[in-house]
Structure 1
């Protein structure tokens, strides 16, 4: 892959291409902004999947700037943009060089980084001045061992410092890891203008049903055990146990699409399940005053993907030690729990992911500084568990009670006053 003037000094250590699925991940931050926004895609060509994905995210009031992968690509890019029709042509401009660009809300590197760590740092330094306040920069690196000469390690380091999201896209040649970096803080109110983020790590079964990547791994382990049992004891039918368990294990991690209410005053359920309790209580860990806590029990038959009940910015995340009591019992309040603290325009909102008697693994994918749309996936809990939502008590009115069944991301559990 030739070096691109659009991405200063990424270096090269082997061919790496961006396919449709990885391109959607790279441009997800641009596509999910519902209000007017600006985008800058660097190192792009007319036949790039990244360009197609970026054009799909265009809305009225948007503007998109393209910097070609090389001088010879500029004419083809302009012709391609013109061929898309008036709507695209009015909102997209093609520059001859990156130096002509202006700061944008979302900056996308269309070509994966494959060079050295030093080259990658230089490339990032060259792009920082094109990021508006609170802007997001997205870039990809090959995820296979030895796929880069240091770029992957450098972007991992940058993600620890500035990361607001990472996706592993296995359905790409080669698989790539997409990093989203934010070098300056974003305004809390921006979250209200976002749609839930696209997640390429799940495997689609249909238009409305996916399997989370954890389910793919768990199902694969079960099938591996079945194969091992079959090889080691060919005359036994013991292999049927893990083989038959594999679909059920994978189904536990199902991740259906949900229709999120458009009402800006609605607070949605963070998970599927049954409401255990609705109560006002103080909690000094989250601030002064009382909180309205709505606790939901998730049985092993419920969907265990967790969603943000409100639009907000992840301000803190911590894990509290505890036991592993059955999640439907009152003393489950003292189980091991992960707390995601959100800053919102209405005050502090907290989601607690609590373990249960069987659930011992909590997955949380929203780093501090990330913006979450209402109803956006941010993690999951393996097997039976409990999810609590804490709202400022004087600012929210509960709409559910003990015994009610709720659907994560869809059911309205409270309303802002």
Structure 2
């Protein structure tokens, strides 16, 4: 595992960060979800590291990966643990030997270089070493690496997930607010880290059709096909904590059983099953589980004069509440409108609090609307403006009973469902492109 000092010039913390298997898979997410052909640049991964293994696992036959030895990036060397020239040469030699041991398939697609100056621009650039030091150090590192990202490409960096003062982490957070297209907290790491994906130049929406759904590291796997979203883990933990407090406060009372017994069903509400997304490029999939409330053509002043086909789906408290992208596209706008909390199956729900995610697609604008219901009071949306979503990719959820609406260009789509039909998010085809 790669280890570098955290805290840099600030001297706040000297605890080494170890990039474990789970964090490594998150770092390599953009490589793994890209259907290729693609180019990758991995900076600072040592021989035998989990990050190098994850990057190699993500390679497809037409892909190419360049690996830069640790501590060899000039300005970056001061921020992530620089090494002498002899040390860099030795690290590069060890990397080449390690790659050669992986077999010809890997060696034909992987190139090892000693310095960043020898690397060529790539579609996905990954800084495998945890970024530390001062804000100026981090700014210099990011500037150097950004020059090596192809137009529309992604730069992935990792920082410690700590509340303590950390110049590098603060600078990355600042840039993530401007250019971020995704951030993931990896708690199952020593210590926990946060992985940020930055896109400094806009990507074309067509690139989304070549992507697979991104990994969600914060969800907890129960089985191969079933996870629990991080919201469910937190909610179940709160319920168990209340049970423990009640038991401690009143040992002879059975009151603690109420929150204790509620923990399992609360966690189950946030279940996140794996879904097989239809490969048909002309298929539009359901954005959520539930029952179709309405299929209609309409105009919506929020989107101008264009006519849309709207398919509304009601989610009961027993349905899976994770929301998925109905089509592949680029998030170009996101806004929330205030309103009431009428029961989601009633017409009055039209004026409930709602979050609008607008996608740019090959077929025109597509909108996904997350509407609150009588019980739901919290909408979660995890796709920043500028991010690319694969068809069927998770992008958010609504807590408890609610409704999702999918808006499609009316002259380019025809519905395949009717009111009363049951649909499965990410799997059921609700419409097809003409």
Q: TM-score range by the shorter chain?
A: over 0.9
C-alpha distance in structure 2 between counterparts of 1:207 and 1:378, whole Å: 20
Q: Which range moved further: 283-292 or 9-18?
A: 9-18
Task: Tell me if 1:161 matches 2:161.
Answer: no
Task: Tell me if 1:302 matches 2:319.
Answer: yes
Task: Tell me if 1:188 matches 2:205.
Answer: yes
Aligned to 1:123, the other structure's residue is in SS state helix
Show the counterpart of 1:59. 60
Show the counterpart of 2:74. none
Give RMSD over aligned pairs.
1.6
C-alpha distance in structure 2 between counterparts of 1:236 and 1:3, whole Å: 50
Contact 1:10 1:114 in 2 (8 A): no
Give runs of aligned pairs for residues 10-409 of structure 1, distance below 5 A: 13-70=14-71, 71=88, 72-146=90-164, 149-409=166-426
C-alpha distance in structure 1 between counterparts of 2:20 and 2:223, whole Å: 20
Q: Which runs of 5+ in 2 are unaligned?
A: 72-87
Aligned length in residues: 413
Q: Render the CA deviation track for 1:83-113: whole Å, top value 9, x for unaligned.
A: 1111111110000111111110000010111
Q: Which range moved further: 356-365 or 81-90?
A: 81-90
Q: Render the CA deviation track for 1:301-360: whole Å, top value 9, x for unaligned.
A: 000000000000000000011110000111101100000000001000000000000000
Contact 1:225 1:239 in 2 (8 A): yes
Contact 2:67 2:112 in 1 (8 A): yes
C-alpha distance in structure 2 between counterparts of 1:10 and 1:190, whole Å: 40
1:41 is displaced (CA, Å) by: 0.3
C-alpha distance in structure 1 between counterparts of 2:389 and 2:14, whole Å: 35
C-alpha distance in structure 2 between counterparts of 1:10 and 1:56, whole Å: 36
C-alpha distance in structure 2 between counterparts of 1:242 and 1:279, whole Å: 43
C-alpha distance in structure 1 between counterparts of 2:4 and 2:227, whole Å: 37
State TM-score, norm by structure 2: 0.93
Q: Render the CA deviation track for 1:151-171: whole Å, top value 9, x for unaligned.
A: 121111111000000000100
C-alpha distance in structure 1 between counterparts of 2:59 and 2:4, whole Å: 29
Aligned to 1:136, the other structure's residue is in SS state strand
1:236 is displaced (CA, Å) by: 0.2
1:284 is displaced (CA, Å) by: 2.6
1:287 is displaced (CA, Å) by: 3.3
Q: Which runs of 5+ in 1 are unaligned?
A: none
Aligned to 1:205, the other structure's residue is in SS state strand
Contact 2:364 2:409 in 1 (8 A): yes
C-alpha distance in structure 2 between counterparts of 1:220 and 1:75, whole Å: 48
State TM-score, norm by structure 1: 0.97
Contact 1:277 1:295 in 2 (8 A): yes
Q: Render the CA deviation track for 1:69-94: whole Å, top value 9, x for unaligned.
A: 14121111111111111111111000
C-alpha distance in structure 2 between counterparts of 1:289 and 1:168, whole Å: 39
C-alpha distance in structure 2 between counterparts of 1:10 and 1:137, whole Å: 25
C-alpha distance in structure 1 between counterparts of 2:354 and 2:10, whole Å: 41
C-alpha distance in structure 1 between counterparts of 2:201 and 2:127, whole Å: 18
1:293 is displaced (CA, Å) by: 0.3
C-alpha distance in structure 2 between counterparts of 1:2 and 1:173, whole Å: 12
Q: Render the CA deviation track for 1:36-65: whole Å, top value 9, x for unaligned.
A: 000000011112111010011000110000
Runs (4+) of structure 1 exceeding 6 A deviation are: 9-12
Contact 2:181 2:386 in 1 (8 A): yes
Contact 2:10 2:166 in 1 (8 A): no
1:212 is displaced (CA, Å) by: 0.4
